[in-house]
Structure formats: structure tokens, C-alpha cells
Amino acid sequence: MADDAIQMLKDDHKKVKQLLKDLTSGSGDKKETLRKIEKEVQTHTHLEETIFYPAYRKELDTIEGKDLVEESLEEHHLVDKILEDLNGLKVDSAEFRGRCTVLKEMIEHHIKDEEKEMLPKAEKQISKTKLEEIGKRMKQEKQEFKPERVIKVS
């Protein structure tokens, strides 16, 4: 179902994984791809941090659930830091390519953690109705959210 929170998150993950592949492969407009990644990542992490994670923490009121959320928040923070470090770089520089590779690895690792641990637990323990309700809130917020930062590379 389209409004299901878990499906929405997975769809975003798929999209960003493809963009990261484009960013680190030889072809295409890197500036444009990075701009898309930044927008996707900022929006996605915003939805998770303000809606999905708090709901998850509440519904799965266990130490394990809380720890998974903390780990995820820390990973968001690291991804954000790498994105910030790309600011001002030239797309044809070794620094740019190196940081993009780390960005890709970090995001892929984070997505794997969410999809292998966090989301299956949510699917098992949060009711379908509740997941749809969370999904609806995320969908609405997604339409209204404007990412703040825009990376400038040349």
C-alpha cells in the first residue's frame, strides 16, 4: 500500500541507492546528481527523525528499539557531515571522488541496517493501521518540507 510508512521508506532508499550509483560511476552530470541526493537525503532523514523514529520508539518500547534509533541518528549525523565536506569541491577532483565513495558506503550501510533490523521489527510489531497512519503523516510532511542546505560544487 502506497501510504504504508515502511514501503515509503524503502522506495526512498531505492531511489537514493540508484542516485549514489550514478554519482560514483563514470557518466552523467555529477553536480545535478549530488543536488538530487542532497535533497532526497535531507527530506528522508527529516521524515525519519521527526515522524518515523519517534513513532518507532513509542511503539517498540524496548531497549533494543531505543538503541536502534540512537544508532540510526548517529549514522544520519555522519552522512550529513560527509555531505557538508563535499561543499566547495570540484567534481573532477580526487577529494570529491573519495568523499563520494565514502558517502555511498555510509548510506548503503545505513540503509542495510534499517532494512535488515529496524523495519522488519516495525513490520512485526506495529499494526498495519498504525503504519498507514504514520505513512500519511510522512506523506504530508514530505510535501511541505523544504531542505535548507544546498551544496555548492564546481
**Closest CB to Fe ion among residues 11, 29:** 11
Q: Which three cell numbers stand for residue 102?
A: 565514502
**Closest CB to Fe ion among residues 97, 139:** 139
Fill in the per-residue mask, 33 to 72: x = in contact with Fe ion (CB under 5 A), - = not in contact.
---------------x------------------------
Q: Which run of H or E residues covers position 108?
A: helix 94-113
Handedness of CA 109, 28, 10, 43 (dihedral sign): positive
**Closest CB to Fe ion among residues 32, 74:** 74
Q: Could you say which residues in the range 126-145 bind Fe ion, by CB under 5 A? A: none
Half-sphere exposure of 34 (CA within 13 A, CB side): 27
User: Can you give the binding site for Fe ion, defined by CB under 5 A?
Assistant: 48, 114
